[in-house]
Structure 1
Amino acid sequence: MPADVGNSINWWQNGYDVLSLSSQSAMVEACVSAYAQTVAMCPGDHWRLNAKNGRDRITNSALSRILRHPNDYQSISDFLLNGTRSLYLDGNAYALALRNDRYEINELHLMNPRLSYPRLATTGDIFYQLGGNDIISRRLGEEALIVPARDVLHIRLHTQRQRFPTPLVGESPIVAAYSDVGMGAAIAQQQLRFYMNEARPSAVLSTDLVLDKDQVQALRDRWNEQARGLHQGGTPILTAGLKVQPWAQGGKDAATADMLKLSNEHIALAFRIPLQVLGIGGNNLSSTELLMQSWIASGLGFALNHIEESIGLLFGLKGPPDEYVEFDTAALLRSALKDRIEALARGVQGGIYAPNEARQTEGLDAVKFGDEPRVQQQVVPLSAVDKIPAAPAPPAAPPAAAAANDDAKPPPPEKGDRDAIQREVRNLIASADRIGRRRLSS
């Protein structure tokens, strides 16, 4: 609450309000929405290591079906959007897993994180009390459910042990930015009251005459009759040397704007989001790919990996590189056509992708002979250089033809014969001289 509240018992009648430290902040909403909407854009897949040390996309598992349709009333985008919002607003995201007759998870239902929490039994077993989903409550006929941990998807952020006795409850980054959120809310509320009450006039009336109190009040009343209320926008007529002077913005207003900007930067810092993603400043990057990569290297990469590992734990996956869940961040470059095509072209030229693999990425049909990666002929491993056959030597000229040719080269001298080498050099110079004279005469 504001500091001046303690000056009066009836503080609520003096215009004071409780400062809200919830998500009712434009900056907090921007940060949370950036995470939630970006995660919802990334499609997820179930991957498994194959015998060639590559990986295969699994399309017939229970996990792959959940990653397409988590339940009968939500898309996977809707599920990830609301789950990520709960994660960053409350520090926790809960989902109830329902199984079929084969004991496979075939439905996931998001629960309200403010009505759900873990419970630790005396034996050390973990159970969850879940609530806040009206659809599940009506289908199962219970408002609150007690569910074992194996049937609950629980994604949580950092646990503050001073506040929570067990490491099972996460904490939102908003806690670290409470003071900045409160300062932003206080500035916004103060400025709102300031302008609603018209505490600062847009202009003042000045004159060199000395006016008494009654004259000043009379002039103020006449001005208000023409310029306020229903008569706003009228044309006042000034007399007695009155002049209208605009009220310039003071340094206090500029300082207030700087403080509000600083608090917004602190909130973005707590959420680990580059200011460029939010569109409020920062150093401009040369491409969309660099912007996304900088965010993936910090906050977004952690968020995706954290959600992937939690889903893998629920489905009992071995983890990377054997079996895991992965959300494809290539979807974030969907609008960066130039960067995407250049990366695929380099991958094909370097032998990383087969032509059909690159075409499939862009949704194009396969072409003939395009299923195998390709490299240029001169790209060979060093261990195979000595196994490359040498080029065949050209056939020797017949003796008659060699004698008839004036420019024929004499046989190479033996190694170490210095006089023979000198004779060969002189013959080459003479031969070049004869060729030059022939060209000049022709």
Structure 2
Amino acid sequence: MGGYEVDPQIMLYDTKLSNYLQRKLKYFFLIVLFFLTTANQLIPFPLEKMGALVFSVFYVFMHEQSFTLNRYQWTLLGLSIGIALFSAVANISSFSFMIFFPVIGFFFAFNLSKKFYYLELFYFAIVLHIIVGLLLAADSYVHGINPHVAGMGGKGIPFLHSTYGLTSTSQSFGTLCISGLLIYYLRKDYKEVTILDNFIIYPLITIGIFNTFNRATFLAYFIILFFKNRKLLLFYLLCILILTIVFWDIILLSLFNTNTISSRSELLEGFNISFWQSHSLKVYLFGRGTNEVTANILFDVTWSSRKDIENGHAMLLHSYGFLGYLSYIFSCLIFVWTAFLRKYFYLASIAFYYLVVAPYITQEFVTSTFYIILAIFIYMLHCYTNDQSRYSIKPQEQVI
């Protein structure tokens, strides 16, 4: 019987088209997954934590033949598991499973930092989140305060709204914006920025940063500009000087608002009672096994509606004791010192700020945003060479 003979060129074209569509479908899946990993306030379900876990499983599955972690990463992962277990056992009847989330977070960060195209896909997911956050913020000025912004009446500027996006705090949204900015500059170092990056995405990230009205985010932004765009930094400082002169009273009230300063002290009342006043060696060593104070303590504090511990250093002490806290600080200092020894002062500065200084203001250890920016730091350190004052040539990566 006769039959039709298929042209090999057509078969080759169909194969290429099929592979192309499969790759684009995977990219779309990852961008959606990464977007959900940033959106812990989208629905009353821990999407971000599930997203971090799903990506980690996906990565291991896609790279099972080549999957590996370096010695430092295995050590940090094992240490985080051990510390969480010690804390859980020491508080077997009252610990929270939330203390194990950093284990997932670290594993997620290690995997995300392996390949730059994962960070690039996260870059577009972050931009999508920023767009959604800014639209929700714009809506709040039209239809009133919504759950995705916070009024700033307590800081003396009630006509402004701090943007949360689909995160729980303005600082978490700000961390997403800063993460996007870091990836933007990585793309710029690799000479991959496009007109879209320069004239659409970069302005959106900048608008997102300023719409947080968050001092911690502003300081991170200025640190980055000090190394990447000092002319723009000088322009901002000049604008700040002029605005300070013109609107001295409002700015003074906002920056040095006594209510804000006293509230941060009051938010530590529960921690002080639960941790320091426990007078327990076990608590000092292994913590309370939770990042929240108990209901009976809330009756004796000013902020009775806030059972979580906002200060990151206090949260680590309360959850894991000095064993966990000192392990974290030691690990951070090793990372920063490594960057410093490689003369990577840009990374050393922003990493020290985000890992050590920023947690004094608001902790993000139980949210995905901390581990997203941590993944970027790890990638930056891995790809930097100390014999030149710029990034090494972008490594060749196998595309999924």
TM-score range, shorter chain: under 0.3
Larger gyration radius, structure 1 or structure 2: 1
TM-score w.r.t. the length of structure 2 is 0.19
The structure that is strand-richer by fraction is 1
Q: Which has the higher contact order (CA 8 A, sep 6+)?
A: 2
